[in-house]
Amino acid sequence: MLKKLVIKNYALIEELEIDFGGGLSIVTGETGAGKSIMLGALGLLLGERADTKAIADKERKTIVEATFELDRPSETLATAETEHIELIVRREISPSGRSRAFVDDSPVTLLQLSGYTSHLLDIHSQHANLSLASKEGQLRIIDAMADNAEALVDYREIFKNYVAVRNRLRRLREEKARNEERRAAVEYQLRQLRELNVKEGEQEEVERQFDLLNDADEIREHLRTAHWLLNGADQSALAQISEAFENLEEVRHLVEGDINDEETLPARLSTIAIEVKDIADTLERRGDMLESNPALLARTAARMRELYDAAKAFNVKKADELIPLREKLERTLSLLDGSDDETQGLEREERQLGRLLKEMADRLTESRRSAALAFSGRLTERAIPLGLPNLRFEVGMTRGKLTLDGQDSVEFLCSFNKNGMMLPMATTASGGELSRLTLSIKSLMAEKMDMPTVIFDEIDTGVSGEIAAKMGRMMVEMGQQIQIIAITHLPQVAAKGERHYKVSKRDTDERTVSTVVELTPDQRVREIAGMLSGEHITEEALSAARALCKL
């Protein structure tokens, strides 16, 4: 319930504070007095765009603040972290146009502000009539009448999962299409590397073998020359060592008995001779083993070129780097193959969720059909007494593709003339007819839904007399369920309110300002009498006003 409204520096309002109560409250005033200004201020609390032209004093900011009293903490407002049952929302507009919003003094975005207040306040104007006539709004009404809230929560949860799976599946299929081209490239590269079959350190070994084979004749010649020098020539190293050994032996015999190093020198030369002989034999064997092999040289050269070409083709420095590249490509190919398994799993999940979703949608459809039939009957009974004697009303339902709201499209069809064609509510009704039908719909919604405070902005336009009185009584009945604030020009409606507020404007030295005051019982009678008789209030008008207020 809207408990208090504070408006400062907005259009014709300098400063205004209004306390509201439950039930039906009436707001009256001459055209242009400022009733629409109040609605504009409340629109700011619903997150509507701020216009700096509405700031009266350009030196001060505009403030609109509302205090709401809740019967219980609202689930919708849980994000506001409020556990009490009073909520204060505020909108501030600076002269520069900067806008700020607060919920319980905590800053919020306009989107968040709208999320909070849209569940607390419903301003019903001619524009709202058109909104109520939309297929989306009509579907919400039927769901409320069918008590589909919990079923819709469950359905939407499955629908979101279903959409998520379908989106993942679509991305996988698109990725698979891209991967087909990538797979061909990977398989081609991998086939090349597998055929090449590079071994660790193979390039160095091939290069060494190539150098050895390529210079085999020259190497063999050097080996033979070294062998000849060590143990082949007349004056070979081994022959000269042997001759030196014999000379040292002679020296040892000549100095026999004398203790010196001459005894060890022959032994050392003998050791050297053995080592030289072994080296010479090794060189001989190596030379015999190393022979020219043109065929092996050609194969080695070809293998070396393969390794060089592959390193260049795959943009690596040496052939050894092709081994981890091959392993990486094998892993990539494995992942590409694995995406098929994930696709198959998601396809199974999509089918399962699709079947479950269709079953849930069918149950929603059945509940809506039943509720639509009952709603049509009740609405017709309620609206006909409001001056719509030839009203025929029905809810048209068609099935379509699955959406977040199910598979149904709902459209209210009606005819206001005898034997008239049934047409969509949005196109067939005049302003007055639509207002009366809308009021009837709202009254049914008030009985069924946990509706917020509803403000009717001249919903009784185009009616008078007994019809107006009936509309007033309907608002009184709605006021027993929710808070109703009705802006009206009709005395029959104004007389039904529990509280009555008058909007008026006056001129000050500086400018024209609007004020709102709650009328006393006597003031209320005079206001209704004025609505009955016009500028000059007669005793007859006062008597009629008193009679209306007692009804």
Parallel, antiparallel, or unpaired: how do β-strands 484-487 and 24-28 relate? parallel
pLDDT at 369: 96
Q: How many Cβ atoms are within 10 Å of 519's Cβ, its own excluded?
A: 18
User: What is the rounded CA–CA span in Å between residue 427 and residue 209?
Assistant: 94
User: What is the rounded CA–CA span in Å between residue 450 and residue 375?
Assistant: 17
Domain architecture of the chain: domains with CATH: 1-133+449-519 (3.40.50.300), 179-335 (no CATH), 521-530+537-551 (no CATH)
User: What is the rounded CA–CA span in Å between residue 513 and residue 510?
Assistant: 9
pLDDT at 150: 93
Beta bridge partners of 485: 25, 455
pLDDT at 75: 44
Q: Are 322 and 235 in contact (CB under 8 A)?
A: no
User: What is the rounded CA–CA span in Å between residue 225 and residue 219?
Assistant: 10
Question: The sheet that has 406-415: what strands, in order across it?
Answer: 392-403, 406-415, 423-424
pTM flag (> 0.75):
no
For 152, residues 6+ apart whose C-beta sits below 8 A from its C-beta are 143, 364, 405, 406
DSSP 383-452: HGGGT-TT-EEEEEEEEEEEETTEEEEEEEEEE-STTPPPEEHHHH--HHHHHHHHHHHHHHHHHHS---
The distance of Cα 195 from the centroid of its chain, to the nearest Å, equals: 49
pLDDT at 78: 45
Place of tokens 């701020």: 50
pLDDT at 459: 82
User: What is the rounded CA–CA span in Å between residue 137 and residue 117?
Assistant: 18
Judged on CB neighbours under 10 Å (0-12, 13-18, 19+), 406 is buried
Rounded to 5 degrees, φ, ψ at 317 are -80, -35
User: What is the rounded CA–CA span in Å between residue 35 and residue 43?
Assistant: 13
User: What is the rounded CA–CA span in Å between residue 225 and residue 286?
Assistant: 12
pLDDT at 79: 45
pLDDT at 501: 93
Rounded to 5 degrees, φ, ψ at 187 are -60, -40
* Structure tokens given for 536: 């000059």
In degrees to the nearest 10, what's the CA dihedral of 191, 192, 194, 195?
110
* Structure tokens given for 211: 């150098």
pLDDT in tens, the chain (551 residues): 899 999 998 888 888 899 998 899 999 988 877 888 888 889 899 888 888 788 888 888 999 999 998 876 544 444 445 455 789 999 999 988 889 999 998 999 999 998 888 888 888 875 555 557 678 889 989 999 999 999 999 999 999 999 999 999 888 888 777 777 777 788 888 888 888 888 888 888 888 877 776 666 667 667 677 767 777 767 777 777 787 777 777 766 666 555 455 557 777 878 887 887 788 777 666 665 556 667 877 887 888 888 888 888 889 888 888 899 888 888 887 776 655 667 888 889 999 999 999 999 999 999 999 999 999 999 999 999 988 999 999 999 999 999 999 999 999 999 988 888 898 887 776 677 888 888 888 888 887 766 778 898 888 777 778 888 899 999 998 888 889 999 998 999 999 999 999 998 888 878 888 889 999 999 999 999 998 887 788 888 899 889 888 75
pLDDT at 411: 92
Rounded to 5 degrees, φ, ψ at 72 are -160, 160
pLDDT at 157: 95
User: What is the rounded CA–CA span in Å between residue 346 and residue 326?
Assistant: 31
pLDDT at 439: 87
User: What is the rounded CA–CA span in Å between residue 257 and residue 263?
Assistant: 10
Q: Are 499 and 25 in contact (CB under 8 A)?
A: yes
User: What is the rounded CA–CA span in Å between residue 434 and residue 440?
Assistant: 10
Judged on CB neighbours under 10 Å (0-12, 13-18, 19+), 139 is buried
Judged on CB neighbours under 10 Å (0-12, 13-18, 19+), 459 is buried
For 291, residues 6+ apart whose C-beta sits below 8 A from its C-beta are 216, 220
User: What is the rounded CA–CA span in Å between residue 132 and residue 442?
Assistant: 10
- Residue 483: which of 439, 440, 449, 453 has the closest Cα? 453
pLDDT at 83: 52
pLDDT at 255: 61
User: What is the rounded CA–CA span in Å between residue 65 and residue 15?
Assistant: 11
Cα→Cα distances 349→132, 346, 406, Å: 38, 5, 19
Which of the 8 DSSP states describes residue 95? T
Rounded to 5 degrees, φ, ψ at 86 are -125, 135
Return the SS3 of 424. strand
